[in-house]
Structure 1
Amino acid sequence: MERILESKKVLVTGGAGFIGSNICEKLLAQDNEVVCLDNFATGKRVNIEPFLSNKKFKLIEGDIRNLNDCMEAAKGAEIVLHQAALGSVPRSIGDPITSNEVNVSGFLNMLVAARDNGVKRFVYAASSSTYGDSTNLPKVEDVIGKPLSPYAITKYVNELYADVFAKLYDMQIIGLRYFNVFGRRQDPDGAYAAVIPKFVKSLIRHESPVINGDGTYSRDFTYIDNVIQANEKAATVDNIEAVNTVYNVAFGERTTLNELINSLQEYLSDFDSEIANVEIKYGPERAGDIPHSLASIAKASELLNYNPKYNIQSGLKEAIGWYWENLK
């Protein structure tokens, strides 16, 4: 992978999570000083264990709902990569209050901490859920619908706060609307696990994965290394027209859940031929789910020079060995 962000002091919130820990790893390899803020609600200590002996890595065990924790973590930071959030549409439907406290109040705390500490660039994880009930394909950044879940509302409110802070306080803020990120260190466990590691774990155990709906729903699955690249480019872009806006972060192709499960069975069968024979089951559609998701990445390509290297197939081939070793 190319070296983009080097020799800076960077705060990664949610740095022990799936996306955050991968970002931390890349930044440490490029001589950055990295501060990780995490409360381990969803992040895992095992994700950051390899970094703890690195003198350029600092862990602050704290909560973005606590302004003092945010202020401490942002001290001296040149760049904030804000990944901390409570993800999952179903979780937000079951517990909208906690999702709001973390994703909205916590986000506001981080904006204030970045402002008061003179952070030069604030990049945050936005979400494709912001497109809501819009049926337009591909999704373009300036055409959104009504949110379909409390989670989607929280992520849209983040964008509104970011826009206001950029204008009121002369801050440089960029939002990255992630589309269905997958890859190494993604947690397969729990009620709110992402679909790919959940399917993989079931297949490895010869248990039938359950697809919500008939399998024709489609997503723009985005490999983790594409997301890392987008964060680095957003953190370093020097074109003033490229800041204080939001970008889709995806590959720009859609894959149905049926196509996905077929690919997983094919690649995992290299490790265990019996996986090809595991029966796939179908269940009811999930509340708050949109049928199809496909991103236009033209804006990110033009303004951030975002150039994703991995489509769904090459991303799965990269990740499949990690899945096999860690999800057995």
Structure 2
Amino acid sequence: MATLVVGLGYVGATLAGRLLGRGERVIGLDNFFSVDRRTTSLLERHGAFELIEGDIRSESDVVRAFSVEAVDHLYFCAAQASADDSTIPASYTETTNLIGPRIVFEEAARRDVGRIVLASAMRVYGQPLPSRVDESTPFTFQRDLTHLSKLYLEGLAHIIAERSKMPVVSVRLGVVYGVGAVVKTDPRFMTVANRLCWQACHGEAPRLALGVGHLPIVHVSDAVAGMIRAAQIDEPGYSAVNLAGDPVTLRDLAEVVASEASRRGRTFDVPAVGGWKGDAPVVESRLTAMGFAPRVALRDGLRELIDYFLARV
């Protein structure tokens, strides 16, 4: 039996590497829209990894991935993840984030896959976050197609789980940051924390959006570990878990980046705007009762990321 990782981007490639390290047989599916094909070379050197270069929007490509060998676990990490609607065609976002998941989930149900773990986002709760968040917190309005599609993704997963009785776990990730097996080099596809570090290393001034409140944030290593732990939830049907560390304001995040950049001789002036006066929301997670908590400290993760980008300037 094998594990299928759909989407070998920032989270998916790191997850595939972690699973291989645990001795699992891994199949990876990706179309390399926002990832350099060469970044999977380390995975491909592993004898227990098989790459299927294909598109989740193509039924034949999805069937090829499932046909390598019987799949027990499916980790779904594929998405057009950039919220910059001005640079990514809306049609690509819609077909990738809406049609693609349906094709994959329906094939998983036909193949009697043991369980699905999907990467969702805590943005489903809105921005800014409510004062207290747990997995029962209602979803709310979204401002871009990328995050709007997360609402559809979770609804679709719920339908598939109810129809097939297959366990499906949605892992609602905070803003993922840090050095993973794949680190995006195009700022359009970077998360806000990674983009701030990239800007600090390239001499660009930070641009801080107003009104976003506190950001739930999680290191990519913790995101992957949490997804693997979530796969242990053995409940029929659909369930969800939150996965993030302590929320931080965008301004505070930028100031940590500026502090670490300054120690490396880089000037990163954080503008006076962008602060948030409200209290930090309380984020609860079912993973806590399972003994899981994020381990990477924010400053440590940002320091490593800045060093990574500086080595490539």
Both structures adopt the same fold (TM-score exceeding 0.5) = yes
Count, aligned residues: 306
Q: 1:256 aligns with which of 243, 249, 253?
A: 249
Matched, 1:99 2:93: yes
Q: Which moved more, 1:143-152 or 1:80-89?
A: 143-152
For the residue of structure 2 that corresponds to 1:78, the secondary structure is strand
Match in the other structure for 1:147: 142
Is 1:323 aligned to 2:313, yes or no? Answer: no
- What residue number does 1:313 align with? 299
Q: Is the 8 A contact 1:12 1:24 kept in 2?
A: yes
* Counterpart contact for 1:134–1:146, Cα < 8 Å: no
Q: Which of these residues, 280, 283, 286, is aligned with residue 299 of structure 1?
A: 286
Deviations 1:190-225 (A, max 9, x none): 4343222222222223332222238x8431121011
Task: With the length of structure 2 as denominator, give the TM-score of the two structures.
Answer: 0.88
**Secondary structure at 2:169's aligned position in 1?**
strand
Structure-2 residue corresponding to 1:63: 55
Correspondent of 1:180 among 167, 175, 178: 175
Q: Does 2:270 align with 1:280?
A: yes
Percent identity at matched positions?
21
Distance in 2 (CA, whole Å) between partners of 1:317 and 1:94 is 30
1:223 aligns with 2:219: yes
Partner of residue 13 from structure 2, selected from 13, 18, 21: 21
Equivalent position amino acid for 1:279 in 2: D
**Structure 2 counterpart of 1:13, one-letter code:** V
Contact 1:123-1:176 at 8 Å conserved across structures: yes
Which deviates the most, 91-100 or 310-319? 91-100
1:4-19 alignment runs, 5 A limit: 9-15=2-8, 17-19=9-11
Structure 1 runs (4+) greater than 6 angstroms displaced: 282-285
Q: CA deviation at 1:37?
A: 0.2
Take 2:127 and 2:250, find their aligned partners in 1: how far apart are those partners?
20
CA RMSD of aligned residues (A): 2.7
Q: Aligned letter for 1:297?
A: E
1:203 aligns with 2:196: no
Q: Is the 8 A contact 1:220 1:293 kept in 2?
A: no
Match of 2:261 among 265, 268, 271: 268
- Asked if the contact 2:129–2:213 (Cα under 8 Å) also holds between the matched residues in 1, the reply is no
Of residues 26, 34, 54, the one that matches 2:26 is: 34
> Which of 118, 127, 132 is equivalent to 2:126?
132
Secondary structure of 2:39's counterpart equals helix
> In 2, are the aligned partners of 1:219 and 1:255 still within 8 Å (CA)?
yes
Instruction: Tell me by how many angstroms 1:104 deviates.
Output: 1.3
Conserved 8 A contact 1:13-1:84: yes
> 220, 232, 237: which is aligned to 2:228?
232
1:306–1:297 Cα change, 3 Å: farther
- Unpaired runs of 5+ residues, structure 1, are 1-7, 286-290
Whole-Å Cα distance in 1 between the matches of residues 205 and 273 of structure 2?
12
1 CA distance for matches of 2:299 and 2:167? 35
Q: Distance in 2 between matches of 1:183 and 1:85?
A: 19
Counterpart AA for 1:235? A
TM-superposed deviation, 1:151: 2.1
Please report how far the alpha carbon of residue 281 of structure 1 lies from its aligned counterpart in structure 2 after TM superposition: 4.7
